[in-house]
Chains A and B, each alone.
Chain A
Amino acid sequence: MIESDDLEKLLENMVQWYGYDFTGYARASLKRRVDSFYSKGKHTSLAEMQNRLSNDPAYFMHFVEEITVNVTEMFRDAGFYKTLREQIIPVLATYPFIRIWHAGCSTGEEVYSMAILLKEAGLLHKSILYATDLNQGVLAKAKSGIFPGAAMQQYSENYIRSGGTADFSSYYTANYNNAKFDAELSAKMIFSSHNLAADASFNEFQLILCRNVLIYFDNVLQGRVLQLFDKSLDSLGFLALGSKESLRFSGIASHYKQLDNKEKIWRKNR
């Protein structure tokens, strides 16, 4: 396993070589993924791996994708989606135009889940879903709307538990081992590369979702990202986090009120 001093040097080198700053990431998970990349890549030494990373930008991008966690699912945490459906969507419906940001969207399963909620509420036509991630590779997958067919049974169960009443399979076309979601759902999505550790606010939104991303950041970077969300959210807008995340370490908590049902959704004060 990589020693912590060597990991720190590698992180500094990544900033020097490519301007990718992972120094604000929590170390335990990062170390585990670097270890895994090292052993899977059959590297002869850490120096040899670093040498290749510094000289081969495509290999470096592959490395970035491997050391970040890109596990996601549709309608993850059914209670959360039920709350979006029953409490948040009706508020969004009052706006003439709805702007939503999925920050750290990974392969996009939650973006498609949101599009389904909006479509079922008759709001998709007046919505735009911005979906951003650090990794170009996962964004390309998200854009394709093609997900593994084997996951559809679980997603369908999640959908039903979140209050969905349509036939979930009506949203995709099964093909070989894949399910391709309707182009109607992705027509309102804009996919773009955005690094939460470095990039600035780019718009204002009524709803920002960033689920299971902050858990990989240290306290300082969590605070920075929450400030960025605060800047990017309309007053009375909603911020939605993952089931183990909160507004601690941010200084923005006093301007927000969590929903009464204790789902991880906060509303910004006026």
Chain B
Amino acid sequence: MAQKQVTGRRLIIIGGSSGSLEALMVILPALRKDFTIPVLIVLHRSISADNGLRDLIASRTSLQVKEADEKEILLAGWIYLAPPDFHVLLEEDGTASLDVSEKIHYSRPSIDVSFTSAAPVYRQHLTAVLLSGANSDGAAAMRVVKEYGGNNVVQDPAEAMVSYMPEQAILLAGVKTVLPANQIAVLLNRL
């Protein structure tokens, strides 16, 4: 079964809200061409936004980019975007699930939902990254990621266009790895 082959896999989830696109445009183009960890991006964005974000990211990276589909196996070499108006959760067989349950922190997709869902599945193989934003979504869930042995990284609030989201993660989850966007890319490339 193809699904069995992905056990022991790794995952990176990058969350962000306002001001995070600028940081992503530093991080994603800097990822190695042969990057072997699937990346899930959970951004707060308006429901009416169409494929503009996918196309924008695809134009700046050598990795392949698509919106995550339900029951899709997350594969190396791909960057997946949480679709607007859906939470993305992670199943133990390495697939993504979509969910239209209540908004969390006024957001669907919610970063908290993806981090919390991925933490017990990927454990020490999960790296959770939180970027600029004016909302605390994702901050509390970084503690859950840590409890399950995963890695936490936040964008340096001094660099973030909106410092509140990374500041909350440092405050609520005691995140120790605080880096500017270009250094986050260096760290991800070394995973």
Binding site for B on A (CB under 8 A): 1, 4, 26-29, 31-33, 69, 71, 212, 215-216, 219, 242, 244-245, 248-249
**Contact call B120/A33, Cβ cutoff below 8 A:** no
Q: Is the CB of A28 within 8 A of B102?
A: no
Q: A224: shortest Cβ distance to chain B, in Å? A: 15
B91 to A26, Cβ gap below 8 A? yes
Which residue, of A1, A4, A33, A248, has the highest number of chain B Cβ atoms within 10 A? A1
CB-CB under 8 A for A29 and B69, given A4-B92, A71-B102: no
| B49 on the A face (CB < 8 A) | no
Contact residue among A26, A212, A249 (Cβ-Cβ distance under 8 Å from B97) = A26
Check B99 against A215 for contact (C-beta < 8 Å): yes
A244 touches B117 (CB 8 A): no
* Nearest B-chain residue to A27, judged by Cβ: B91
Contact A29 B83, CB 8 Å, known A71-B100, A71-B102: no
Total interface residues on B, using CB and 8 Å? 21
* B55 CB within 8 Å of chain A: no
The distance from the CB of B94 to the nearest CB of chain A, in whole angstroms, is 11
Min CB distance B134 to A, Å, is: 22
Contact B89 A244 (CB under 8 A): no
Nearest-neighbor residue (CB-CB) of B90 within chain A: A28
Beta-carbon contact of B113 and A32 below 8 Å:
yes
B91 CB to nearest chain A CB (Å): 5
Q: Does B86 contact A (CB under 8 A)?
A: yes
Is A244 a contact partner of B91 (Cβ separation < 8 A)?
Answer: no
Q: Of the candidates B90, B91, B92, B100, which one forms a contact with A212 in the assembled complex, judged by CB atoms under 8 Å apart?
A: B100
Q: What 3 A-B pairs have minimum CB-CB distances, sorted nearest first?
A: A28-B89, A69-B101, A29-B99
Residues of chain A within 8 A of B144, CB atoms compared: 1
Question: Are A28 and B91 neighbours in the complex by a CB distance under 8 Å?
Answer: yes
With beta carbons under 8 angstroms apart, the residue of B97, B102, B116, B121 that contacts A215 is B97
A-B contact pairs, 23 of them (CB 8 A): A1-B120, A1-B144, A4-B120, A26-B71, A26-B97, A27-B91, A27-B92, A28-B90, A28-B99, A29-B101, A31-B117, A32-B113, A32-B116, A33-B101, A69-B99, A69-B100, A69-B101, A71-B101, A212-B100, A242-B100, A244-B86, A244-B98, A249-B71
- State in angstroms the CA–CA spacing of A244 and B87 once bound together: 12
Residues on A with C-beta less than 8 A from B22 are none
**Cross-chain contact A244 with B70 (CB below 8 angstroms):** yes
For B117, the chain A residues whose CB sits under 8 A away are: 28, 31-32
Report B-chain residues with C-beta under 8 Å of the C-beta of A31. Answer: 117
CA distance A26 to B144 in the complex (A): 21
Task: Please report the C-alpha to C-alpha distance between residue A28 and residue B122 in the assembled complex, in whole angstroms.
Answer: 13
- Bound complex: CA A101 to CA B152 (Å): 47
* B interface, CB within 8 angstroms of A: 69-71, 83, 86, 89-92, 97-102, 113, 116-117, 120-121, 144
Q: Which residues of A contact B92 (CB under 8 A)?
A: 4, 27
Name A4's closest neighbour in chain B (CB-CB): B92
Q: Which residues of B contact A242 (CB under 8 A)?
A: 100
CA distance in complex: A69, B86 (Å):
12
A202 to B99: give the CA distance in the assembly, Å. 28
Chain B proximity of A226: nearest CB distance (Å): 14
Do B70 and A215 have beta carbons less than 8 Å apart? yes
How far, in Å, is B125 (CB) from chain A's closest CB?
16
Residue of B nearest to A35 (CB): B116
Contact between A216 and B69 (Cβ–Cβ < 8 Å)?
no
Partner of B99, one of A1, A4, A216, A245: A216
Which chain A residue has the least Cβ–Cβ distance from B68?
A244
Complex: chain B residue closest to A218, CB-CB = B71
Bound form: Cα–Cα A15–B188 in Å: 45
Question: Which residues of B are found within 8 Å of A29, using beta-carbon distances?
Answer: 89, 97, 99, 101
Give chain B residues whose Cβ lies under 8 Å from the Cβ of A1: 116, 120, 144
Closest to A219 in B: B71
CB distance from B46 to the nearest CB of A (A): 13
Cα–Cα, bound, A1→B119 (Å): 11
Residues of B contacting A245 in the complex (Cβ-Cβ under 8 angstroms): 70
**A142 vs B9: C-alpha distance in the bound complex, in angstroms?**
44
